[in-house]
Amino acid sequence: MSLNANTLCIREEREALLKIKKHLQDPFHDPFSWVGEDCCSWTGIGCDQSGHILSFELSFAQHISGEINPSITDLKHLRYLDLSSIDFGGIPIPKFIGSLHMLRYLDLSYSNFSGMIPTHLGNLSNLQYLYISTSFSSLWVKDVSWLFTLSSLRCLHMKGVNIISTSHDLFPAVNMMPSLLELRLISCNLRTFPPSFPFENITSLLVFDLSQNPFNSSTPSWLFNITKLTELYLQSSSLRGPFPVLQRGNLCNLRNMDLSNNYLTGDITQMLDTLSSCRDQSLEHLDLSSNHLIRKLPNFVGKFNHLASLDLSSNSLLGPIPTTIGNLSNLNHLNLEGNMMNGDIPKSIGQLTQLHSLNLLQNNWEGIMTNIHFQNLTNLISFCISSKPNSFAFKVTQDWTHHLNNLFYVEISDCQIGPAFPNWLRNQTCLGTIMLQNLKGSIPLWSGVKGLDLSNKLLSGIIQNNIGEEMSDLEFLDLSNNQLIGIIPQSINKIQNLLYLDLSNNYLTGTIPVFWMGMQGLSIIDLSYNNLSGGIPTSICSLPSLFILELSNNNLSTDFSPTFQNCTSLQTLSLGNNMLFGSIPKEITKNLPSLAELLLRGNALTGSIPNEICGLPSLHLVDLSNKNLSGSIPACLGNVYGFKLPQTSFINSTEPLFIDRYMWYTKHIELIMKGKIIEYMDRMPVHSTIDLSDNSLCGEIPEKLTELIHLGALNLSWSMLTGNIPNNIGSLKDLESLDLSHNHLSGPIPPSMTSMTFLSFMNLSYNNLSGQIPVANQFGTFNDPSIYEGNPQLCGDPLPNNCSSPLSGNVEKGRKHEDDEKIDKLCLYASIIVGYITSFWLVCGSLYLKRSWRHAYFNFVFDMKDKLLFFVVANLRCAKCKFDIERAKTTK
């Protein structure tokens, strides 16, 4: 298109633009610089020489929201329309966009549209580029037939659009687009991959990206017959079975291929041999990681002279690294982590002068690495290696002072590198993050380093008092899982840029320091599993970025109620197995508004669970198993949004938390699941959990809890709960662990529980349940009678009680409430006794302590005695007088 500066835009089209502007707004400023009569000179507007608007683009402005005015259809000549990244408030895509028949380019991506994509877009027969991606899976397609009419389409992007209901029709529609060059349907919930077509009409396709779709099928062979393909992305798509046999010459134009994170099996040799046989092969990026590929890495891998990135990690590859690896002169990234490779590291790896990242972790390497391996790796930024213990060593001469000027990150574990700290590493002046395991001795102090991870089981002694002065640039300090003793040094407060501090699993003593105020960037503090004592300083809540505080398994003793005030960013609070006392404060919503995980197991907290805890919308892990909490279970827990989210929402709860590219923290969460303590770490999905066990809670199980349909674990054992198990408990479809044992529950086992098909652990023992045990679905797998014992009125498998017996499964009238009434009476009597004792000592204690009160009290008593005696004597005399008068009348 061209713009004629001497031609004004068409008046009707200018008015249409002003109407569109009126329905769009920016809360911060006016995003439009639309002034003057000539709209062709306005920002985002392009015209042809006759003054007609050809292009309309609003993606230049941020924070725009509002709606699309139908007057946009007055732009009859519009060919280019970009409305991406505008907040349209969740409205559907307007049908009238399908009236812009001249459109060649349409971008509605990430604009907060929702609902069904209108079939009216099929009227845009001239469309060549269509982008309708979304981040929230809020768009969906009911009918893909409108795609058949877009025969001129060259590029189709629909990331995040739900196409599950019509996925079987999608590929035939795509096959009718002979001009299509780029197809990206990422995370579209596609389930069907057709094994073949009657004819293949997509021979012009250059980019094919259907990653992150749950196909759960084999890789179709027709895909590898698209000879012009340059980019192929099918990662995380549940592809299974052997890798297809490739025909020679079919993928010679391929530059990028990513089939990672699938279930592909077979020999890697045939696939690499076919790709390397191309006369002008151009492969630059190959990612086959996280599959089940086998065999050795072949020698002809050295033929891929254009290869810049090779990732074969997390497979089952065997054998050594071929010496021909040194021929990959353009290689920037090599990742062989998590295989079963062995043998020596070839010295030819030192020829990879362009290498930035080398990851050789978790293999079975043998032999040694010397300074020869590193001599020419001047561009190396990241180096990682580990092996089976005592099989691999570093033999770098102590006087080797060669500087790897770009080396920033080093991780070495289960290799012989010490025992002393290696000088060749200390000489690397740009080194920022170091992770060394199995290094003996004391902590090496190293100025200039930003990240230091020496987590292992061999460091001993104290943390040096001057660590803060010597390592003031630290952002990441992990000394966990060692044998360190002594106190936490005061000088740590001089590490002003510290983001993450992990001193867990040592033998540290003393108290938690109070120096936190100056460390404004600190996000993670983990001091768990030590011998720390005393209180928790309130200054910890002065850290504005703190979102994980892990202090469990120490000897901390303080009142929980006033400790955490205004910890507004804290998401995880783990204080289990200490000696905390006091109660859970009603101000918890105000003081900890971001809290998602509250872990207080094994303390000495008292009082009831406040209803205010339900005001924490992100809460999804609660462990209050404690021994001393009383009162009832707050019914409002059934309203907490966090408990209603599916399990996949919490995968990040234990996902490594990246501080930056080379620094991360792996959170450990201990929960009682399925009758035993389970430690969740790394990428294990965490269930939403409520554990209120081992307390003195009374009352009934709130019916409201059955609305938490995605709850993963519920433990209410060892309390004083009464009443029936809620009838609707079967609504907890995702529940895997249920423990209601050692209570006073009565009535039958609800039949709805047979619909809880994910339930793999259940304990209902030692209650007063009655009737027949269900037998359908997963109940047929609960063969352990101990999970039902202590319920004499239960019958049926796996118990020996036969339900055909007239006494089995029946209870006398009113029997099911008998224990409840006993408990209520006990509570009443206890209240009367406590009230009497309290009143007695309140009066007598006051008289004993206050002499003036005592005198006044006894004067009052004596005065009342005299008045009472006078009242009685006077009334007796009056009564006697009346009696004498009546008797005299009778005598007369």
Cα distance between residue 145 and residue 885, in whole Å: 116
Point out the least confidently predicted range of 306-315, 429-438, 565-574: 429-438
Cα distance between residue 182 and residue 231, in whole Å: 9
Cα distance between residue 448 and residue 445, in whole Å: 10
Q: Which of 718, 755, 713, 756 is nearest to 738 (CA)?
A: 713
Cα distance between residue 665 and residue 657, in whole Å: 5
pLDDT over 70 at 485, yes or no? yes
| Structure confidence at residue 123 (pLDDT) | 94
State which of 214-218, 336-340, 830-834 shows the largest mean pLDDT: 336-340
Strand partners, 409: 382, 433
pLDDT digits (tens, 9 = 90+) for 771-806: 999 988 878 788 889 999 999 999 988 888 888 754
| Structure confidence at residue 636 (pLDDT) | 94
Check if the beta carbon of residue 241 is closer than 8 Å to that of residue 219: yes
Tell me which amino acid residue 155 is. C
The stretches of 742-850 forming alpha helices (DSSP H) are: 818-849
pLDDT over 90 at 156, yes or no? yes
pLDDT over 80 at 157, yes or no? yes
Q: Please indicate, yes or no, whether residues 337 and 233 belong to a single structural domain of this protein.
A: no
Mean pLDDT of 452-458: 79
Kindly provide the b/e burial profile for residues 70-92, where b requires at least 16 CB atoms within 10 angstroms of the residue's own CB: bbbbbbebbbbbbbbbbebeeee
The model's confidence at residue 441, banded by pLDDT at 50, 70 and 90, is low
Token pair for residue 413? Answer: 């574990």
pLDDT over 70 at 684, yes or no? no
Mean pLDDT of 160-184: 84
Q: Which of 67, 106, 90 is nearest to 139 (CA)?
A: 90
Domain count, the chain: 3
| Structure confidence at residue 273 (pLDDT) | 87
Point out the least confidently predicted range of 144-148, 164-168, 171-175, 262-266: 164-168
Cα distance between residue 455 and residue 414, in whole Å: 12
Instruction: Specify the DSSP element, H or E, that contains 875.
Output: helix 851-891
Asked whether residue 403 is domain-assigned, the answer is yes
**Prediction pTM value:** 0.69
Rg from Cα positions in the chain: 37
Point out the least confidently predicted range of 5-14, 412-421, 711-720: 412-421
Cα distance between residue 517 and residue 813, in whole Å: 65
Cα distance between residue 803 and residue 774, in whole Å: 12
pLDDT over 80 at 165, yes or no? no
Print the domain residue range for 357: 314-431
Q: Please indicate, yes or no, whether residues 660 and 789 belong to a single structural domain of this protein.
A: yes
Backbone angles phi, psi at 861, to 5 degrees: -65, -45
Strand partners, 416: 393
Asked whether residue 326 is domain-assigned, the answer is yes
Mean pLDDT of 63-92: 91
Token pair for residue 561? Answer: 């109620």
| Structure confidence at residue 507 (pLDDT) | 96
pLDDT digits (tens, 9 = 90+) for 844-858: 555 445 545 455 554
pLDDT over 80 at 476, yes or no? yes
| Structure confidence at residue 13 (pLDDT) | 93
Mean pLDDT of 121-149: 89
The model's confidence at residue 888, banded by pLDDT at 50, 70 and 90, is very low
Could you say which DSSP state residue 577 is in?
S
User: CA 199 from chain center: how many Å?
Assistant: 44
Mean pLDDT of 684-694: 78
| Structure confidence at residue 673 (pLDDT) | 56
Cα distance between residue 588 and residue 186, in whole Å: 41
| Structure confidence at residue 230 (pLDDT) | 95
Check if the beta carbon of residue 725 is closer than 8 Å to that of residue 702: no
Q: Please indicate, yes or no, whether residues 410 and 276 belong to a single structural domain of this protein.
A: no
Last residue of a domain, one of 232, 262, 295: 295
Mean pLDDT of 419-425: 69
Asked whether residue 438 is domain-assigned, the answer is no
Asked whether residue 798 is domain-assigned, the answer is yes
pLDDT over 50 at 64, yes or no? yes
| Structure confidence at residue 696 (pLDDT) | 93
Cα distance between residue 197 and residue 636, in whole Å: 55
Point out the least confidently predicted range of 57-66, 364-373, 634-643: 57-66
Q: Is 91 left (phi over 0), alpha (psi -120 to 50) or beta?
A: beta
Distances (CA, A) of 873 to 862, 869, 870, 882: 16, 6, 5, 14
Distances (CA, A) of 480 to 433, 438, 451, 463, 653: 16, 12, 14, 12, 20
What is the number of other CB atoms lying within 10 angstroms of the CB of residue 828?
A: 10
Which position has the higher pLDDT, 671 or 681?
A: 671
Q: Please indicate, yes or no, whether residues 272 and 369 belong to a single structural domain of this protein.
A: no
Asked whether residue 574 is domain-assigned, the answer is no
Strand partners, 621: 597, 689
Token pair for residue 32? Answer: 């439009």
Q: Is 319 left (phi over 0), alpha (psi -120 to 50) or beta?
A: left
Q: Which of 12, 7, 89, 15 is nearest to 48 (CA)?
A: 7
Spatial neighbors of 873 by CB under 8 A, at least 6 apart, are none
Mean pLDDT of 11-34: 82
Q: What is the pairing mode between strands 657-660 and 663-665?
A: antiparallel
Q: Please indicate, yes or no, whether residues 644 and 719 belong to a single structural domain of this protein.
A: yes
Domain with residue 328: its CATH number is: 3.80.10.10
Mean pLDDT of the chain: 83
Q: Helix, strand, or coil here: 57? A: strand
Asked whether residue 711 is domain-assigned, the answer is yes
Long-range pairs of 561-565 with CB within 8 A, sequence gap ≥ 24:
561/585, 562/538, 563/535, 563/536, 563/538, 564/536, 564/538, 564/591, 564/592, 565/538, 565/541, 565/591
Q: Please indicate, yes or no, whether residues 291 and 327 belong to a single structural domain of this protein.
A: no
Strand partners, 483: 460
Asked whether residue 492 is domain-assigned, the answer is no
Q: Which of 91, 36, 25, 106 is nearest to 61 (CA)?
A: 25
The model's confidence at residue 107, banded by pLDDT at 50, 70 and 90, is very high
Q: Please indicate, yes or no, whether residues 390 and 420 belong to a single structural domain of this protein.
A: yes
pLDDT over 60 at 145, yes or no? yes
Cα distance between residue 281 and residue 253, in whole Å: 7
Q: Please indicate, yes or no, whether residues 694 and 748 belong to a single structural domain of this protein.
A: yes
State which of 421-435, 674-688, 739-753 shows the largest mean pLDDT: 739-753
Point out the least confidently predicted range of 643-647, 706-710, 827-831: 827-831
Percentage of the chain with pLDDT > 90?
Answer: 48
pLDDT digits (tens, 9 = 90+) for 667-677: 666 666 555 56
pLDDT digits (tens, 9 = 90+) for 376-385: 898 999 999 9
Check if the beta carbon of residue 433 is closer than 8 Å to that of residue 662: yes
pLDDT digits (tens, 9 = 90+) for 624-635: 998 789 999 999
The model's confidence at residue 886, banded by pLDDT at 50, 70 and 90, is low
Token pair for residue 879? Answer: 């009564």
Mean pLDDT of 52-76: 88
Cα distance between residue 747 and residue 793, in whole Å: 9
Mean pLDDT of 114-140: 91
pLDDT digits (tens, 9 = 90+) for 181-216: 999 999 998 888 887 766 667 788 999 999 999 888
Kindly provide the b/e burial profile for residues 592-613, where b requires at least 16 CB atoms within 10 angstroms of the residue's own CB: bbebbbbbbbbbebbebbbebb
Check if the beta carbon of residue 685 is closer than 8 Å to that of residue 647: yes
Q: Please indicate, yes or no, whether residues 776 and 642 belong to a single structural domain of this protein.
A: yes
Distances (CA, A) of 364 to 342, 360, 637: 5, 10, 50
User: Tokens 């349409």 belong to which residue?
Assistant: 106
The stretches of 97-248 forming alpha helices (DSSP H) are: 167-174
Is the C-alpha dihedral spanning 270, 276, 278, 283 positive or negative? positive
Mean pLDDT of 86-115: 93
Q: What is the pairing mode between strands 65-66 and 24-25?
A: antiparallel
| Structure confidence at residue 125 (pLDDT) | 92
Percentage of the chain with pLDDT > 70?
Answer: 81
Cα distance between residue 832 and residue 743, in whole Å: 24
User: Tokens 């009126």 belong to which residue?
Assistant: 22
Point out the least confidently predicted range of 228-232, 433-437, 532-536, 716-720: 433-437
Q: Please indicate, yes or no, whether residues 238 and 327 belong to a single structural domain of this protein.
A: no
**Within 13 Å, how many C-alpha atoms sit on residue 163's CB side?**
31
The model's confidence at residue 433, banded by pLDDT at 50, 70 and 90, is confident
Check if the beta carbon of residue 528 is closer than 8 Å to that of residue 574: yes
Kindly provide the b/e burial profile for residues 172-207, where b requires at least 16 CB atoms within 10 angstroms of the residue's own CB: bbbbbbeebbbbbbbbbbbbbbeeeeeeeebeebbb
**Within 13 Å, how many C-alpha atoms sit on residue 524's CB side?**
22
Cα distance between residue 687 and residue 670, in whole Å: 12
Last residue of a domain, one of 760, 789, 811: 811
| Structure confidence at residue 118 (pLDDT) | 93
| Structure confidence at residue 832 (pLDDT) | 52
The model's confidence at residue 221, banded by pLDDT at 50, 70 and 90, is confident
Q: Please indicate, yes or no, whether residues 288 and 324 belong to a single structural domain of this protein.
A: no
Asked whether residue 480 is domain-assigned, the answer is no
Q: Helix, strand, or coil here: 855? A: helix
Cα distance between residue 209 and residue 236, in whole Å: 11
Last residue of a domain, one of 811, 843, 878: 811
Q: Please indicate, yes or no, whether residues 330 and 278 belong to a single structural domain of this protein.
A: no
Q: Which of 163, 180, 58, 201 is nearest to 127 (CA)?
A: 180
| Structure confidence at residue 581 (pLDDT) | 93
Q: What is the pairing mode between strands 364-365 and 309-311?
A: unpaired
Backbone angles phi, psi at 81, to 5 degrees: -135, 115
